[in-house]
Structures are given as C-alpha cells and as structure tokens.
Amino acid sequence: MLTTRGTRGLQLLMLLLLLVALLLQGAVTVVGALKAGFYDKTCPGAEAMVQKVVNDAFDKDYTVAPGLLRLFFHDCFVRGCDASVLIDSTAGNHAEKDADHNKALHGFEVVDAAKADIEAACPGVVSCADILAFAARESVALAGNFFYAVPGGRRDGVISREVEVEFNLPASNFNAAQLIERFVAKNLTADDLVTLTGGHSLGVAHCTAITDRLYAYSRTSDTDPTLGPAYAALLRKSCPVNHTTAAVAATNSSAVWLDLLTPEKLDNQFYATVQMGFAVLGSDQALMADPDLKAAVAAYASDAKLWVAKFSRAMVKLGNMVELTEEEGEIRMQCRVVNGGNNRLVASN
C-alpha cells in the first residue's frame, strides 16, 4: 500500500509527465502573465488609444478591419502572438511579412500609429503584440458590433523568418483534414477552426488565392467541382487568367468578396454562403466535406448569438497562444524594428 508521501510523489510524477507531454506537442501556451486590464496601472489609457486610432482609420478605410484581423491571426499562428509579423526584412533576414501567404496583409500603419501614441504617453511599457491584439478586438467591435475583453501582457519577439510561415499557416487550398491538423498543432480544436473561419465574413480574397480552384484544380477537372458552373463563371469574370499573378495581387486590384451576403459586416451570414456552395476559398468550402465541421457550420448559420459568443472566446484563445515567457522577448520601441536594430535578425536565419 502506498503511503501518503508515496501517493503525493506519484501525483507529482504524473503531473510532471503531463507537462512533458504538453511540451512535446510544441505549442505550449504560457499565459501566466496575461490578464484583462494588464495596463490599468502602468499605462491606463493604452486600450483607449488603440481604439481611437483604429476608429479613425476605419472611418477612412473600411478594409482596416479585415486587415487587422488577419494580421493578428497570421501573427499568432507562426510563433505565437509576438508581433513577429510586423518586423521588416533586412538584407540578411527575410521576415514573415515577405512570405507569399503574407504579401497581401495590410494594416501595419495602423499598428504603427497606435504604438507612436502609446510610446509618447507610456514609453517602453506596452508591447506591439498587445497593441495588435487590442486592434483586432476593435476591428471586431466596429465591423461586428460586439466586444470582448482582451488579456494583456504579451512580449514582442525578436525573431521573424519568412520560411516559417508556410509550415504554420493554413493554406487557402487545404482540405478539411489538413485544416484540422494545422489547428490542432496550435492547441486549437476543430470547432475553433469553424468558429474563427467566420472572420472571412469580412473583406476580400485576392485572385491568386483561387487560381487553382478556377483554372488548375486537378488532372481531370480545371475547375473545382464544388463550385457551381454559374458561380465559377462569375469568379472567372472577376479573376481572369491574367489577373491571377502575384504581381497583380500585390496591387490589391484583383479581388473578390469573401462573403456574398454581407461583405462589409462581421456576422454569421458567411456560414450561409458556405452552405450554399458560394465560399470563395477552397479551404472555406472544405468545411462542408467533414460531418462535424458541416454540423458546426449549420449551427452558426442558424444562430447568430451562438457564433458571436464562441467567436469572442475563440479570439481570446487565439490570443493566448504565447510562447514567450515574461523573461523572454522585449517591448519594442517601434513595431517594425527590434530594439537595437533589425541587424540583430541576421543571426536568426
């Protein structure tokens, strides 16, 4: 029979083994320092300053909202939410923002403006990673008319590698199994996948993202068979062959709405679009190929309140993907440049 001391020892051993197993998954979230109202004492106006900058930018350009949402997602999925997507490349280091997946990202200047205002009021206190998380929340509030509290306390990373993007972000031509695998690798569930895909209710897809669906789907079919003939013809009209090159996409001139029903509003109508077979991205339409994902799509399409509640929770969960501890990383003075200059990034290649 185990003694009390032996029982406690066994419990500690089991806890240690569990921790090791989590570490081996490669996506541990270190969230001990994250909490809502993190800057209430050190920089009490931080979140309000981000809100003002985002509101002003949104008033001039609606696309700021989907832009900031995607910046946040693309940041968190590579090295955790550490603002590494904001770092500029140098001659010796190709940063994340130069990856093909990220070339159409925008909203960087909004983060820069918020950072400048905050630095003027509270130098060296608020991380770029937190500013991006707050900015994404404000985008949701503006385009979706709902709000959620964002825990703060993230640190800014000092590594940004273009080559890491492709192997971490889901691609627009992924099937259901590939999508689930990529999300699970980040400690997100299949339900989180469907929930967060609702962010595609906003904004556009550039023609380069759907080239394969329209013109080179497989050996037996040029066009993705899940696209109805009429819808495929409509998409081809918006994205002719000569408008599916990277050079054209870089001009942001060739794109199609992601949501046919309410393209400028963050809402659950996107899921009705998917149900009808009108998803623009192959990865979005792939949600209908898996029974569980399909059921979640149906649930969200029929219940706006359910999706809002779960999207809010999923955004917080996404934001909790933090791989830097309190002792690691830094508070960048400028979001595009690591402290000491981006020449420090050379060693990260």
163 burial via Cβ count (<10 Å: 0-12, 13-18, 19+): exposed
Q: In 3-state terms, what secondary structure has residue 204?
A: strand
Structure tokens at 300: 């969200």
- Asked about 94 being catalytic, the answer comes back as no
CB atoms near residue 205 (< 10 Å): 21
Q: Which residues are annotated as a binding site for heme b?
A: 200
Q: Quick check: 262 and 201 in contact, CB under 8 A?
A: yes
Encode 166-195: b = buried (16+ Cβ within 10 Å), e = exposed.
Answer: eebbbebbbebeebbebbeebbbebbbbbb
**Alpha helices in 185-256, H assignment, sequence order:** 190-197, 211-215, 229-238, 246-249
Q: Which residues are annotated as a binding site for Ca(2+)?
A: 75, 78, 80, 82, 84, 96, 259, 262, 267
CA-closest candidate to residue 320, choices 202, 64, 201, 148:
148
Structure tokens at 45: 């106006």
Report the distance separating Cα 275 and Cα 260, nearest Å.
12
Report the distance separating Cα 260 and Cα 240, nearest Å.
19
φ/ψ region of 255 (left if φ > 0, alpha if ψ in -120 to 50, else beta) reads beta
Q: Which residues are annotated as a binding site?
A: 75, 78, 80, 82, 84, 96, 170, 200, 259, 262, 267
The residue behind tokens 């707050």 is 134
CA-closest candidate to residue 110, choices 88, 91, 89, 138:
138
Hey, what amino acid is at 174? F
The residue behind tokens 């703060």 is 152
Residue 139, phi then psi, degrees to nearest 5: -65, -40
Catalytic residues: 74
